[in-house]
Amino acid sequence: MTPTGQSSHRDTQESPLDAIADEVLSEIRERGTYRHMRVLEGLQAPRMRVDGREVLLFAGSNYLDLARHPEVVEATERASREWGCAAGGSRLITGNLACHEALENEIASFFESEAALAFNTGYMANVGVIPALVGPGDVLVSDELNHASIIDGAKLARTKVAVFRHGDLDSFAETLERVRPTARRALVAVDGVYSMHGDVAPIAEIVKRAHELDAMVLLDDAHGTGCLGTRGRGTAEAAGVLGEVDILMGTLGKSLGSFGAFVAGSAKLRDLLVNTARSFIFSCALAPPQVEAARVSLRLIDEEPWRRARLIENCDRLRSGLASAGISTAPSTTHILPIVLGGNERTMAVCEALLERGYYAQGIRHPSVPRGHARLRVTPMATHAEAEIDGLVNAIDELVRRIVE
């Protein structure tokens, strides 16, 4: 009621905010891309409760199952007691704790770089790094399937963007050669492992050609870190160019089982980002328990290589089983296996039916993937048992055959 006792206009009319929400959400529902968040319970592990149902988890990014490792959990408990549960400020004011510096030194050592800098998320890393390196008058050369954080980082940088066909070296070379002469600076950005396709960027060839034309290379290796390479140092290590990537971005919240992200590179890159990356400068620092968890996980990646080996074995078993059933996971060669079903309705029907059978493999729709290419995104863990992999194969085979558009 108004002060005079009369009803206000808003008491009888829908608010502008609600009207916007109704309009936009109605369009999303009509497209068949409305999302809701599932509720998961229990430890991040091969088996969890999802929306009240116990299922085998094939939808996460805790690939090496380090999030519940006893040493990782103990590190968070110890850090909570010794440091508290928050850093208490941004790194440039009160939040630069000794554990942050220790983590960054260990990351730099692990990736054989001069320095590293922690960010709160991989998204924040990319939207901080890209505007720090390029702007108006420059160019970002970008794979067409790059992560949204790279796309948004380019928008914030207000730089020209030149897109090349996904994974196509000829398209890459032609695009870079065309735009480089008129740009003050050039930054090439690619994912290491593409999160919805599971294929790997041809990073060795990209680095070689980029450097020939005086262009910098940003490798977003969020999904490669910990899983690829002889020591788990990711896509660049697997390709033999670990020391040649100018800016290496990785996350702490996937294979490392913690939270946050990092950028590794030269000492001058770190200094530049500390002074110019707005997503770093204007954010509270990572909480000490997460920092200490990441430090332990980084060590365990070296000490327990069996996790990486088991992850590869499980993925090979799943890929082979699905292929025998006539189900393709192309173009994946990694621990992310897409099963493209096409339509949104069919994809989500298979997803829900899998849940009923005790398997959680999330259905992915536009805008995460192109229209008409909806898919199940299946991500095994190092600690799934062979029988669990085989059970998933049988369930997918049955449901894909039964549920059609």
pLDDT tens, residue by residue, 253-311: 999 999 999 999 999 999 999 999 999 999 999 999 999 999 999 999 999 999 999 99
Q: What is the pLDDT of residue 7?
A: 57
Residue 92 pLDDT > 60: yes
The whole-number average pLDDT for the span 112-120 is: 98
Task: Give the three-state DSSP class for 92.
Answer: coil
CATH class assigned to 30-59+305-402: alpha beta
Q: What is the pLDDT of residue 33?
A: 86
97 vs 36 pLDDT, higher one: 97
On the 0-12 / 13-18 / 19+ scale of CB atoms within 10 A, 128 is buried
DSSP string, 353-387: HHHHTTEE-EEE-TTSS-TT-EEEEE---TT--HH
Condensed to tens digits (0 to 9), the pLDDT of residues 168-188 reads 999 999 999 999 999 999 999
Give rounded-to-5 percent helix, strand, coil for the chain. 45, 15, 40
Condensed to tens digits (0 to 9), the pLDDT of residues 350-371 reads 999 999 999 999 999 988 898 8
Q: What is the pLDDT of residue 197?
A: 97
The whole-number average pLDDT for the span 57-63 is: 97
Q: What is the pLDDT of residue 368?
A: 87
Q: What is each CA distance from 338 to 57, 154, 205, 228, 342, in whole angstroms?
A: 15, 27, 25, 18, 11
Query: What is d(CA 131, CA 121) in angstroms, rounded to the nearest whole number?
Result: 16
Query: What is d(CA 302, CA 282) in angstroms, rounded to the nearest whole number?
Result: 33
Residue 243 pLDDT > 80: yes
Q: What is the pLDDT of residue 405?
A: 67
Query: What is d(CA 351, CA 367) in angstroms, rounded to the nearest whole number?
Result: 18
Rounded mean pLDDT of the chain? 95
> Given pLDDT bands bounded at 50, 70 and 90, which one contains residue 13?
confident
Residues in CB range of 234: below 8 A, 6 or more apart:
192, 221, 224, 225, 226, 227, 228, 242, 248, 250
Q: What is the pLDDT of residue 10?
A: 59
Could you give the count of Cα atoms lying within 13 Å of 130 in the half-sphere of its Cβ? 33
CATH number for region 70-303 = 3.40.640.10
Task: Work out the number of other CB atoms within 10 angstroms of the CB of residue 146.
Answer: 23
Condensed to tens digits (0 to 9), the pLDDT of residues 34-52 reads 888 999 999 999 999 999 9
Cα Rg for the chain, rounded, in angstroms?
23
Residue 348 pLDDT > 80: yes
Task: Give the three-state DSSP class for 261.
Answer: strand
Whether the CB-CB separation of 140 and 162 falls below 8 Å is answered with yes
Q: What is the pLDDT of residue 31?
A: 86
Query: What is d(CA 213, CA 379) in angstroms, rounded to the nearest whole number?
Result: 37
DSSP string, 156-217: HHT-EEEEE-TT-HHHHHHHHHHHGGG-S-EEEEEESB-TTT--B--HHHHHHHHHHTT-EE
Instruction: Say which residue the tokens 């290590």 belong to.
Output: 237
The whole-number average pLDDT for the span 345-353 is: 95
Residues in CB range of 17: below 8 A, 6 or more apart:
none
End-to-end CA distance of the chain: 51
Q: Could you tell me the two tokens for 119?
A: 């960010």
Q: What is the pLDDT of residue 382?
A: 98
What are the residue ranges spanned by the domains of the chain? 30-59+305-402, 70-303
Residue 331 has phi, psi (to 5 degrees) of -95, 20
> Given pLDDT bands bounded at 50, 70 and 90, which one contains residue 4?
low
> Given pLDDT bands bounded at 50, 70 and 90, which one contains residue 233?
very high
Residue 376 has phi, psi (to 5 degrees) of -85, 135
Query: How far does Cα 342 stand from its chain's mean position?
Result: 23
